[in-house]
Structure 1
Amino acid sequence: MQVLRKLLFPISLIYGLIVFLRNRLYDMGIFSSKSFSTKTICVGNLSVGGTGKTPMIELLVRSLGQDFQVAILSRGYKRKSEGFLLSNDDSSVEDLGDEPFQLKTKFPEITVAVDADRRNGISQLENIIKPEVILLDDAFQHRKVKPDFSILLTAYDNLYVNDWYLPTGNLRDSKREASRANVIVVTKCPSDISKQDRAAIAVKMNLAADQKLLFSFLMYNTNLKGTEVTLDSLKRKKVTLVTGIANPAPLEKYLHSEGLTFEHLKYNDHHFFSDQEIAILREKECVLTTEKDYVRLQSKLPKLHYIEVKHEFLEDGKAILEAALKQFMTKTS
């Protein structure tokens, strides 16, 4: 696979040129970026693959939801509906897509909407809901909307500064666009990452003085959901780990570190399981999955467990982020 990606280097040059020209046209005002009266916070990345966007959206909901009326707008990737759709009690994972459905299930009091056209989605939310702040999920590269505050995520083991354009690398946007972010979070760090390592990353990032660089690691909940058991109790069972996420490696590493033995069935990100695949999984003694996969499997498999994950910041990172959010939300236009 790596050899093939290197052979496709000329295509990545063409892709990079297209990305550069597109961004320049936006920078010059030839393509327009629209601002809205409602405050908008964008969470995204420059690369394909998992950087922890959904756990970051969850963190923002918990930080802002107590004091402000929050709405979430997502594209709803791989959903089976079209256009703008506002979630309700009857919405399904097929209607919304797995991540928006996960968010609606976890935060039923929060408005969740999906629309590939972010401009239209924001306008619809302003007309119907009138929220105080809209969280834009995975929208950093969608420059038709100019967000008021942007959080850029990059994974510790695949920093955007070390990456290259698709298809040779994983970048879908230019490294230069990181300059538009208010906060950059290096996610999936080792929990014991050294100050020297963080300092070296900061040097590589070379951020502007007004940009904040934070570091986070993934914290897994050993009290499993779905069927209420502990992770430790699964050590006596024949466990099948089922993942349909971009990068399951951190989860694999964590489970091994906890002494869990398992077979791992890997599927593509946002995978919708076929009847044949469900039949195979039904024969397994114990199925453990991610929260995102759980919303696609919960109605089809008995005795299904999932493991929750959230971002934990190093040192005072969470306080810094919450202070920046508070300053943003209380700032008058």
Structure 2
Amino acid sequence: MNLIRYILFPFVPLYHFITWLRNKLYDLGVKKSSSYPFPVICVGNLSVGGTGKTPMIEYLINLLKKDYKVATLSRGYKRKTEGFQLANKTSNAETIGDEPFQFYSKFKNDILVSVDADRNNGIKTLESIKNPPEVILLDDAFQHRKVKAGINILLSTYSNPYFSDFTLPTGNLREPKSGATRADIIIISKCPHNLSDEKKQAFIKKIHPKKHQQVFFSSIEYSNRVFSETDSKNIKELPKFTLVTGIANALPLVKFLKYKNLDFEHLNFKDHYNFTQNDIDELNNKALIITTEKDFMRLKQYEPLKRKLYFLPIEVSIDKETLFNNKIKNFLQNA
């Protein structure tokens, strides 16, 4: 925790109270939440960034796309457009945001991808289109309480669980940890592989889940290949490269690449970073660039980088996967 965050600690009770009061007004029905006559699944967190929402959305897409017409609805963080946007062949990271563009690039033939800061307007617009979706996945909408989702999935990282954190500005929580009681499913994400049952039980004890809640643990699985738009390479055969990241927490990726004994330098930018022309000129001097899939969505538009730019895909692995999948499918069947 840096010095500025320590200095701002006196403001924590004020932020805590304001966000607690907002939630209480929703709980009491003073502020209204809208429900919808079709399934809406919310994926979110209590903390700011870096909990693995994007791979979780992709997990759900892969789980549901064969049996349902799926749509994703995101805010479209840092996009240069406003209002509702439905992704199409002219879309890019600037028009819909890097994460929605990642969904569209991977699943454009299977799902609808949309963005709208006003989630209610986004849902109503999706409902009104020809051949509307049968299920909507709300990305990063746990605090967006104007929509009452049918099922709420809350993510919290193993290295920084919400129950050990403070609210902003000293900690990373967007709202008090009591907000976790709204979740139907709590997933402790980015866990070490082969996490023992004893440690899982210790986490569950600290979470103290309510009767309606189930707790799962997930890990990140890295691919053994990196991909460009036209090519792929085995990571074991990579020469020295430059790792470029603009994500909330690049440490797990760096640890994985070091574990593989790869030779690389790391250029680390802030989350959702907008690369400047100077950045692109510097990167153009690199022989080989490896990046995350999200960063690839923003960097691939630059023609000079295309022949040297590759991304490393990731997937989510969930313990008790069958139980988790059945919970989601049972919700949809009974919605």
Specify the SS of the correspondent of 2:170: coil
Deviation of 1:14 (Å): 1.0
Question: Which of 232, 237, 246 is 1:233 aligned to?
Answer: 237
| Residue of structure 1 equivalent to 2:313 | 308
Contact between 2:291 and 2:312, CA under 8 Å: does it hold in 1?
A: yes
Q: Distance in 1 between matches of 2:140 and 2:254?
A: 24
Q: Which residue of 2 aligns with 1:123?
A: 124
Whole-Å separation in 2 of the counterparts to 1:286 and 1:131: 40
| 2:163 corresponding residue in structure 1 | 161
Over aligned residues, Cα RMSD in angstroms? 1.0
Letter matched to residue 263 of structure 1: E
SS in 1 for 2:122: helix
Partner of 2:28: 28
The answer to whether the 8 Å contact 2:240/2:262 transfers is: no
**Equivalence for 1:320:** 323
State the match for 2:72 in structure 1. Answer: 72
Deviations 1:129-177 (A, max 9, x none): 4211000000001101000011100000000000001110000022111
Residue 261 of structure 1 and its aligned partner are, at CA, apart by 2.1
Question: Partner amino acid for 1:139?
Answer: A
Number of residue pairs aligned between Structure 1 and Structure 2: 328
Counterparts of 2:233 and 2:171, CA distance in 1:
40
- Distance (whole Å) between structure 1 residues aligned to residue 260 and residue 295 of structure 2: 21
Give me the whole-angstrom Cα distance separating, in 2, the residues matched to 1:253 and 1:238.
Answer: 16
1:123 partner letter? K
Q: Distance in 1 between matches of 2:170 and 2:85?
A: 35
Question: Which consecutive unaligned segments of at least 5 residues does structure 1 have?
Answer: none
The Cα of 1:38 is off from its aligned counterpart by 2.2
Conservation of the 8 A alpha-carbon contact between 2:158 and 2:190: yes
Q: Indicate conservation of the 8 Å contact 1:221/1:307, yes or no.
A: yes
* Distance (Å, rounded) in 2 between the aligned partners of 1:8 and 1:261: 40
- 1:331 corresponds to which residue? 334
| Equivalent position of 1:219 in the other structure | 221
Give runs of ≥4 in structure 1 deviating > 2 Å.
none
2:293 alignment counterpart:
291
The answer to whether the 8 Å contact 1:38/1:131 transfers is no
In 2, distance between residues paired with 1:206 and 1:73? Answer: 31
On the 8 A contact 1:74/1:116 being kept in 2, the answer is yes
| Structure 1 position 238, deviation (Å) | 2.2
Specify which of 269, 272, 275 is matched with residue 274 of structure 2: 272
1:212-241 deviations in Å (ceiling 9; x for gaps): 10001100001111131011111xx22110
- 1:181 corresponds to which residue? 183
**1:119 counterpart letter in structure 2:** N
Letter in 2 for 1:307: L
- Once the 2 structures are TM-superposed, how far is the Cα of residue 210 of structure 1 from its aligned partner? 2.5
The residue type paired with residue 261 of structure 1 is D
CA distance in 2, matches of 1:23, 1:269: 27
> Is this contact kept in 2: 1:239–1:263, CA < 8 A?
yes
Q: Provide the residue aligned with 2:195 in structure 1.
A: 193
What is the CA–CA distance in structure 2 between the aligned matches of 1:166 and 1:177, rounded to whole Å? Answer: 14
Give the whole-Å Cα distance in 2 for the aligned partners of 1:141 and 1:233: 44
Q: Which residue of 2 aligns with 1:254?
A: 256
Give the match's secondary structure for 1:112.
Answer: strand
Structure 1 CA distance for aligned equivalents of residues 79 and 301 of structure 2? 17
Q: Percent identity?
A: 48
Q: What letter is aligned with 1:42?
A: C
* Normalised TM-score (structure 2): 0.96
